[in-house]
Structure 1
Amino acid sequence: MLKPTLLAAGLVALLAAPALAQNTNSGTDKFAQLGQELPTPNTYRTASGAPGRDYWQQRADYNIRVTLNDANQSISGTEDITYTNLSPDKLSYLWLQLDANIYAPNSMTEATQTAELREKMSFQTLEYLQRTGFDGSFKIDDIRMKGAGKQLPYTVNYTMMRVDLPQALAPKQSVTFTVKWHYTVNDQKKTGGRSGYEYFEQDKNYLYEIAQFYPRMAVYDDVNGWQHKQFLGTGEFTLPFGDYRVAITAPADHVVGATGTLQNPDQVLSATQRKRFDQAKASSKPVVIVTQDEATKAEQGRAKDTKTWVYSAKNVRDFAWASSRKFIWDAMGLKVEGKPVVAMSYYPKEANPLWGQYSTQAVAHTLKTYSKFTIPYEYPVAISVHGPIGGMEYPMLCFNGYRPEADGTYSSATKYGLISVVIHEVGHNFFPMIVNSDERQWTWMDEGLNTFMQYLTEQEWERGYPSRRGEPAQIVPYMAMNPNLQNPIMTNSESVLQLGNNAYGKPATALNILRETVMGRQLFDYAFKTYAQRWAYKHPKPADFFRTMEDASGVDLDWFWRGWFYSTEHTDLSIENVQWYKVDSKNPDIENAARREEMNAAPKSLSQQRNLQDINKTLVDEKPELKDFYNAYDPLAVSESDKARYQQYVSKLKPEQQEILKKGLNFYQVELKNLGGLVMPVIIQMTYTDGTNEVVNIPAEIWRRNNAEVTKVFITEKPVASFTLDPFLQTADTDLSNNGFPRKLAPSRFELFQQQQQPAPQNPMQRNVSSQQPKQGGGATGAGGGN
């Protein structure tokens, strides 16, 4: 319970003035500007975070012919690469990425993979550890100059390949060369990976999700030169922009979806399918183009001939595709700032009814929401393809998991898991497919920014949407973890510990805190949109993001980047003590009455309580003659002389000083400590004795002179019953037990369980036996749209 201390009225003026705090910061000042941590601005990248007047980037255009062999699950292809040197440098060789070489027998990935053996291990785990008998690496058949036909020498260094040019490629010049290759597609369920195939035992069919299927140009830029760090499996892909024309030859009964727009629909689609596709473009709901009935019928056959699907994509950084005779295909149209876009999904019957209900709708919702917060989506299509594992992103096309039970039911976790993964992977069209950051170096620049945008998009899907990441409270267990188990966000992608927390959850949470608590939505949204506009179809680096967010908002955020991105410190602010003062008004009627009330309320000591029971009469009670003046004296009684002295005191005060005395203000000295090391704004809620409350937001700069402990004075007209730090869980504070004063108990929970094997629980749809069976293919319309 807070008790007041009387404050001499003459000290009020001192309290109102700023205190001269001693700077007790040790080591690096948390408010020091990011100097050596960021590169020096230049004419390529400015101090404001915008591209400079001399900014440049390379270009790579592709003409690819590729064939899928469904009999032995292999790919063979030929590509013409036109590489344009827009840098100021002469290039005597070019570097290409051979990402499939992580499946080579001598793979650096496999050689450096760590693992632990346990007493009990599944056959699947053992099979993954062995991975023997499979070689999914690129086999380079030929590399030669286009037209001249001169073979080019090349050197393969694990997942990178250097191609030596016959003469140096001068600035503003282009070179075209041809690469011929083949490789075996991996089984995703056995070897993992971002692409591959899934085999369906029941109908003996394959579903192919194909990416990283061709030798791809590496990025050459003004910061790193060639970005040719080895692909070890985590750090993803850094690629230049260009135009693609890709001809995909597959079994004639396959449906092929890909990055870009289909160039030869008359040759690969039936008249009915083309009509449905035209209907879908104008429909606000998904229309089925290839129905479940048609896909089920196709599963039963095996075409001996082939079809070639030709796709074209403009100004993209990559290309991916999917192929299967099992595919159902639905689509719907939408407009993004007046420009028509087609949202589409490809999925097998095993994915229904879930996919027909939600996938394409989630694609369209993502494009609208991301476009509102960043830049308008400018590509003509966006596609979600269902496969066996997780999710993975490519321009205009992504691969997503989650399917219902065999009986068509599904849990809420499966439903929201599907919607979330579609939002996340489609969202990657913006980060990094358009805002093209260096994934090989900085996973957080695509995954973290995208996870933040995913959170905003999920919350616009459904009120109370169960987002996994984004809310500050959700990152607390990670932030409170032993720092030895963490890396700073600013850690190379291949070296990150706990990739999900580090590169997805923590940066997404940081951005949410910036938006809600540090900057406010208006400043943040403007700055974030400015970053997307500045770096759309370019190659930004972390400094470009940090500088743009400050430049467009006018908010100094170096302390925030330093704490959240360059350290593993956590938020743990504590209210150590609160002292309550009231001004001594000198009015004897007020002050003496207050003292009397305090004396009456004071508890009696244990001895006093027992003496009341044990001592029937004191000596003075028995002998009244022992009483004198002081036995009847009331020191708190107000005399005429007391009143006269008060009137004399008041007469000497200025009117504004008299008003201060009349108000009976309360002064609270709140002592705060930063126990976690991470400086953050102080959000403090004062709950008054009448039940009302007030929230005060204090910028993080309160810690600028002393990063460890500060004292803040609050002046209120009403008395405060309690103080609470971070009442709305805005700062990811890891210990709420020290956030209140007077202290409050913060409960923890533990779970009891029966130590025996339990059957797999039914999902709610299965338990609700009285409900109707869900319809297959729900959500899409059109002839034969599901069973």
Structure 2
Amino acid sequence: MQLFRFLLPMALMGLFTSLHAQNPSADHGNKFEQLGTLITPPNSYHAWDGAPGPDYWQQRADYEIDCTLNTEEQRLDGSEWITYYNHSPQPLRYLWLQLDENQHSPKNDNQYFDPSSIKPVMSEYELKALETWRGRDKYGVNIEAVADENGQALEYTINQTMMRVELPETLGPGEHFRFRVDWHYYIVDRVYLNHLLEATGNAATLPRGGYEYFPEDDNYLYTITQWYPRLCAYTDFEGWQNNQFTGRGEFALTFGDYTVRITLPEDHMVGSTGECLNYADVLTPKQLERWEAAQTADAPVEIVTLKEAKAQEKAKPAKKTQTWIYHANQVRDFAWTASRKFVWDAMPHYNSDGKRVMCMSYYPKEAYPIYSRYSTKAVAHTLKTYSKYSIPYPYPTAISVEASNGMEYPMICFNPGRAEPDGTYTEIAKKSAISVIIHEVGHNYYPMIINSDERQWAWFDEGLNTFVQFLAEREFDADYQSWAGPPHQITAYMTMPKGQLEPIMTNSENIKDYFSNAYLKPATALNILRETIMGRELFDYAFREYGRRWAFKHPTPADFFRTMEDASGVDLDWFWRGWFYSTDYVDIALDSVKWYKVDLDNDPERREITQPVRASKPFRDLSQIRNEEAGIVPADEEDPELQDFYSNYKPWETADSVTQQKIVIYDEPFSKKEKQQQFGDKNYYELYFSNKGGLVMPVIIQWTYEDGSTEIDRIPAQIWRKNESAFTKVFVKEKQVKAIEIDPFRETADAGLGNNSWPLRQVPSRFQVFKKHKIESGKNPMQRANGKYTDD
């Protein structure tokens, strides 16, 4: 995801399902009902327990790609062979391919479908963003040829960012088809488009890849992503995922093997998905020697040093080209980067299964102070943490590229992290780099390995990934201030006006605050599920089982929901309903408290009550009447031995119709000694709770006693089953209570802190006041501490 731009309103595709109350006029019977038809029903492909079913299948697509980067024209030319395997039970008459670069074409709807308006004061980029399509005629994929392996041309139709290829004959189950696509496109200026994005939030300008130009040294940094025509996913739950790519929803793809040959000027360093097959041909002997040394190093080894990178970016551009060859197995996509500016370092990480993974970073000198210290080690830490909560990292490499943005692909990702010109940096720049590196490397798991469809369900990889990112950050630095995870940080979003909100399970094109909805809220929900609802042991086991079941497969949200319940033994339908299918929020109010003690001196007055009990003739129902009409003879009429006094007893016809019943109220009192022994020292606190926000959650109560000691009671969410709006509960305490606080650790995302305490604690509203404005940049802390700071 373009995480570095997360505050901009980007949306991904998701499945919107509204939450309908089953018993809308009642105060119960809604929030704790099973999900039922809200989730897709199980079948032989996606089983009842959340695992892949016995008939599960998925497609495969293998690629052989040759491409050439023209650094003078900023153009990429490519030719690819695709072998598509139909493992489905359905015969296919055509194939759908994605042409993501067409998002930049003026022929694409995304250039026109966002609203715009005039402001009193507008920037240059805001004005240009009013016509995002202008001046883009040369952009987009140009298809030069589509042919089968015999060279016979294939018919094809381009529909904006999608291309349908007609098969010469139906591709039956178990068959495969090999064909070739030749193409080229002009590479976009990624930095310029990001300026447009920042100015308006218009996702039509969102660049996933492109180039960045450095005018001070006349060099380029290329991030080549979503760059080749590639097969759409074809799944059992959707068929072809051929929704248009508008710049928002990312992609769903098919696993396969790749061999890619990249030709470009020989002075460019390349980093890529997969393993390089010809380092001996493209590296200098010294670089190759350092690469070999990095295989067993304890810290990052610079294969290309800072000094060499600075010299390269100043040298005269190379005229000769060379070809880098990469291969990757079982990946769903392929991306690469290139620049004359790169420093490149690497070190190994060893999985729990003993497998070595080469962790690497590529970065320009502008990022050296942060990246040389943190990037590659953050990559290794991410693999260690994510493997603990899922499966051991299965690929041979993991790469972080500093490209002043955030986006992920198999084995390679692009992140921010540049320092000041003097080599110092702010803490925000450091944390931004570490967080985005962890997040984007983590995307190798969600969705690159556990292959969810982000174009349908934005949260299903962004939310899951952000949650594990939070775990990794806290294991990187115990005091790490994460932007997602702690429950109290989500309350401002969840209490926004309903018109500004939508459930997590919403089509992402319809989401207003995408970052809060797809990243923050689901990550917070999962953290609450782990810490408060299920407990770490049950949650971690179930979460790992989900990863194990669905690695290298195509799960749906229903598979996740069912697996979490199946592997833990915890019914969570109420939780999914509230957090994922509604816009309710948490605000549990402690409305009042009553304190009681047993009266040791007085007993309730003993009283006798006599009341009449009147017998009435039983009503003859329709079944009795029809049995008589049918001539059915009861067993007690056939066998007189079955009859006794009561067989013909009819008290309503006799004086027995009225009898007197005596009730003695408070008949047996306790002695004072008994009361003293059992109840004398106990304190009874009757607490009255109400649900102001609508979201049912556990109630965590902290008691503070007169002697200063404290105690925690945890009441499960099921306390709301019989009344979802309010409940009363009595607590018996040996000590006298001085104060009560609800949600003391702020673990349930309770938004109404003002109603969580007894005696009532006022939480004032606040307003701000100032005298005048002043703008002064000043020095960052590193500059103030050390004067000029440099790693040169």
Shift of the 651–685 alpha-carbon distance from structure 1 to 2, 3 Å rule, reads closer
Question: Which amino acid in 2 is paired with 1:282?
Answer: T
Alignment correspondent of 2:112? 111
Q: CA deviation at 1:762?
A: 2.5
Alignment correspondent of 1:162? 164
Q: CA deviation at 1:754?
A: 4.8
CA distance in 1: counterparts of 2:211 and 2:294, whole angstroms: 28
CA distance in 2: counterparts of 1:269 and 1:114, whole angstroms: 50
SS at match of 2:36: coil
Q: Does 1:690 align with 2:707?
A: yes
Q: Within 5 Å, give how 1:176-195 maps onto structure 2.
A: 176-192=178-194, 193-195=207-209
Alignment correspondent of 1:143? 146
SS at match of 1:352: helix
Deviations 1:192-248 (A, max 9, x none): 311111000001111000101001100111100111111111111100100000000
Question: Which amino acid in 1 is paired with 2:426?
Answer: S
Alpha-carbon contact 1:527-1:552 (below 8 Å) kept: yes
Which of 262, 277, 285 aligns to 2:276? It is: 262
CA distance in 2: counterparts of 1:284 and 1:277, whole angstroms: 13
Deviations 1:132-191 (A, max 9, x none): 212421111110002x11111111111111111010100011001000010011111112
SS at match of 1:299: helix
Alpha-carbon contact 1:650-1:658 (below 8 Å) kept: no
Question: Which amino acid in 2 is paired with 1:438?
Answer: D
Alpha-carbon contact 2:90-2:172 (below 8 Å) kept: yes
Question: Which amino acid in 2 is paired with 1:302?
Answer: P
Q: Does 1:224 align with 2:238?
A: yes
Q: Within 5 Å, give how 1:326-725 maps onto structure 2.
A: 326-337=341-352, 338-389=354-405, 391-586=406-601, 659-661=677-679, 663-725=680-742
CA distance in 2: counterparts of 1:23 and 1:581, whole angstroms: 36
CA distance in 1: counterparts of 2:672 and 2:433, whole angstroms: 75
SS at match of 2:597: strand
Q: Does 1:308 align with 2:323?
A: yes
Shift of the 128–688 alpha-carbon distance from structure 1 to 2, 3 Å rule, reads same
Alignment correspondent of 2:640? none
CA distance in 2: counterparts of 1:571 and 1:210, whole angstroms: 44
Deviations 1:437-472 (A, max 9, x none): 001101101100000001000001112111111100
Q: Within 5 Å, give how 1:244-323 maps onto structure 2.
A: 244-300=258-314, 301-323=316-338
SS at match of 2:84: strand
Shift of the 652–481 alpha-carbon distance from structure 1 to 2, 3 Å rule, reads closer
CA distance in 1: counterparts of 2:122 and 2:222, whole angstroms: 29
Q: CA deviation at 1:649?
A: 6.6
Alignment correspondent of 2:634? none
TM-score by length of 2: 0.85
Alpha-carbon contact 1:138-1:183 (below 8 Å) kept: yes
Q: CA deviation at 1:560?
A: 0.5
Question: Which amino acid in 2 is paired with 1:427?
Answer: G
Deviations 1:586-607 (A, max 9, x none): 289xxxxxxxxxxxxxxxxxxx
Alignment correspondent of 2:6? none
Alignment correspondent of 1:626? none
Ranges in structure 1 where 5+ consecutive residues have no aligned partner: 1-21, 589-647, 777-786
SS at match of 2:112: helix
Q: CA deviation at 1:761?
A: 3.8
Alpha-carbon contact 2:257-2:328 (below 8 Å) kept: yes
CA distance in 1: counterparts of 2:46 and 2:323, whole angstroms: 44
Q: CA deviation at 1:775?
A: 3.9
Question: Which amino acid in 1 is paired with 2:408?
Answer: E
Q: CA deviation at 1:118?
A: 1.4
CA distance in 1: counterparts of 2:295 and 2:768, whole angstroms: 51
Shift of the 304–455 alpha-carbon distance from structure 1 to 2, 3 Å rule, reads same
Alignment correspondent of 1:83? 84
Q: In angstroms, what is the RMSD of aligned CA positions? A: 1.7
Q: CA deviation at 1:748?
A: 4.5
Alpha-carbon contact 1:232-1:494 (below 8 Å) kept: no
Q: CA deviation at 1:115?
A: 2.5
CA distance in 2: counterparts of 1:187 and 1:128, whole angstroms: 15
CA distance in 2: counterparts of 1:566 and 1:393, whole angstroms: 28
Which of 241, 244, 256 aligns to 1:242? It is: 256
Q: CA deviation at 1:52?
A: 0.2
Alpha-carbon contact 2:27-2:725 (below 8 Å) kept: no
SS at match of 2:448: coil
CA distance in 1: counterparts of 2:349 and 2:671, whole angstroms: 77
Ranges in structure 2 where 5+ consecutive residues have no aligned partner: 1-22, 195-206, 604-667
Deviations 1:93-132 (A, max 9, x none): 0001111111111211111122332122221332343342
Q: Within 5 Å, give how 1:726-745 maps onto structure 2.
A: 726-745=743-762
Q: CA deviation at 1:38?
A: 1.1
SS at match of 2:585: coil
CA distance in 1: counterparts of 2:515 and 2:467, whole angstroms: 13
CA distance in 2: counterparts of 1:577 and 1:361, whole angstroms: 53
Q: CA deviation at 1:487?
A: 1.1
CA distance in 1: counterparts of 2:170 and 2:252, whole angstroms: 23
SS at match of 1:294: helix
Shift of the 60–705 alpha-carbon distance from structure 1 to 2, 3 Å rule, reads same
CA distance in 1: counterparts of 2:304 and 2:515, whole angstroms: 36
Q: Within 5 Å, give how 1:185-224 maps onto structure 2.
A: 185-192=187-194, 193-224=207-238
SS at match of 1:334: strand
Alpha-carbon contact 2:226-2:335 (below 8 Å) kept: yes
Deviations 1:598-642 (A, max 9, x none): xxxxxxxxxxxxxxxxxxxxxxxxxxxxxxxxxxxxxxxxxxxxx
Moved more, 505-514 or 290-299: 290-299
The runs of 4+ residues in structure 1 deviating greater than 6 Å are none
CA distance in 1: counterparts of 2:374 and 2:346, whole angstroms: 12
Question: Which amino acid in 2 is paired with 1:182?
Answer: H
CA distance in 2: counterparts of 1:754 and 1:141, whole angstroms: 65
CA distance in 2: counterparts of 1:250 and 1:712, whole angstroms: 73
Alpha-carbon contact 1:25-1:707 (below 8 Å) kept: no
SS at match of 2:37: coil
Identity of aligned residues (%): 53
Q: CA deviation at 1:772?
A: 5.8
Q: Does 1:60 align with 2:74?
A: no
Question: Which amino acid in 2 is paired with 1:414?
Answer: A
Question: Which amino acid in 2 is paired with 1:102?
Answer: Q
Alpha-carbon contact 2:698-2:716 (below 8 Å) kept: yes
Moved more, 118-127 or 54-63: 118-127
Alpha-carbon contact 2:45-2:54 (below 8 Å) kept: yes
Q: CA deviation at 1:757?
A: 4.5
Alignment correspondent of 1:643? none
TM-score by length of 1: 0.86
Q: CA deviation at 1:752?
A: 3.9
Q: CA deviation at 1:46?
A: 0.8
Q: CA deviation at 1:566?
A: 0.4
Deviations 1:9-50 (A, max 9, x none): xxxxxxxxxxxxx99834860001000111111110011100
